[in-house]
């Protein structure tokens, strides 16, 4: 991914990953989405009491999300990069036609309602240009309100 480790290559690689990853979500390809993460990546998500650890956990999480929202579309609005760190603003929209996985609980049945989920994330990359840490920020209560669960 990162060619020679120069600052220009690092910035280019980070931007490329951030532009390509939403395309993987839009293609509903959890495997391609997860391939942008390092094998030992850590993902902090407000829906989970503990971070997701490892590419496989991130892949499983994306599969659950794509099951719950099979028509989901992600749109990257902004990205800022500095070295191996980036910040992004994204909006995900989709219809809840599948069960919603609940950490440690019974999945919630589909509501048939549309979701518009704006979120921001701070992301760190390794020398190979893979994501090693991601911290997502979004309104969990807002999700439940939109889906008629609050």
pLDDT at 3 (0 to 100): 43
Q: Mean pLDDT score of the chain, rounded to an integer?
A: 91
Question: Residue 32's domain is classified under what CATH number?
Answer: 3.10.450.50
| SS3 letters across 102-149 | CCCCCCECCCCCEEEEEEEEEEEECCCCCEEEEEEECCHHHHHHHCCC
Q: Kindly report, residue by residue over 121-150, the tens digit of the pLDDT.
A: 999 999 888 999 999 999 999 999 999 987
Residue range(s) defining the domain that contains residue 85: 7-146
Cα–Cα distance between 26 and 45 in angstroms, integer? 20
Cα–Cα distance between 102 and 91 in angstroms, integer? 21
Q: Does residue 29 fall inside a structural domain?
A: yes
Q: Which residues of the chain have pLDDT under 70?
A: 1-7
pLDDT at 83 (0 to 100): 87
Overall pTM surpassing 0.95 (yes/no): no
Q: Does residue 1 fall inside a structural domain?
A: no
Q: How far apart are the first and last CA of the chain?
A: 43
pLDDT at 42 (0 to 100): 98
pLDDT at 6 (0 to 100): 64
Half-sphere exposure for 34 (CA within 13 Å, toward CB): 20
Q: Does residue 62 fall inside a structural domain?
A: yes
Q: Does residue 2 fall inside a structural domain?
A: no
Please count the structural domains in the chain: 1
Residue 74 makes CB contacts below 8 A (sequence gap 6+) with: 22, 25, 26, 90, 91, 92
Q: Report, in angstroms and rounded to the nearest whole number, the Rg of the chain calculated over CA atoms.
A: 15
């Amino acid at each position: 991914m990162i060619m020679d480790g120069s600052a220009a290559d690092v910035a280019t690689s980070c931007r490329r990953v951030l532009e390509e990853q939403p395309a993987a979500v839009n293609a509903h390809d959890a495997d391609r989405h997860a391939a942008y993460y390092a094998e030992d990546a850590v993902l902090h998500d407000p829906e989970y009491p503990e971070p997701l650890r490892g590419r496989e956990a991130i892949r499983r999480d994306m599969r659950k999300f794509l099951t719950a929202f099979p028509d989901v579309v992600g749109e990257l609005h902004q990205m800022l990069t500095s070295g191996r760190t980036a910040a992004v603003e994204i909006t995900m929209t989709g219809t809840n036609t599948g069960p919603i996985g609940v950490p440690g609980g019974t999945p919630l049945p589909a509501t048939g309602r549309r979701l518009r989920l704006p979120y921001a994330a701070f992301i760190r990359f390794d020398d190979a240009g893979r994501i090693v840490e991601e911290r997502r920020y979004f309104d969990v209560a807002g999700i439940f309100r939109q889906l008629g669960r609050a």
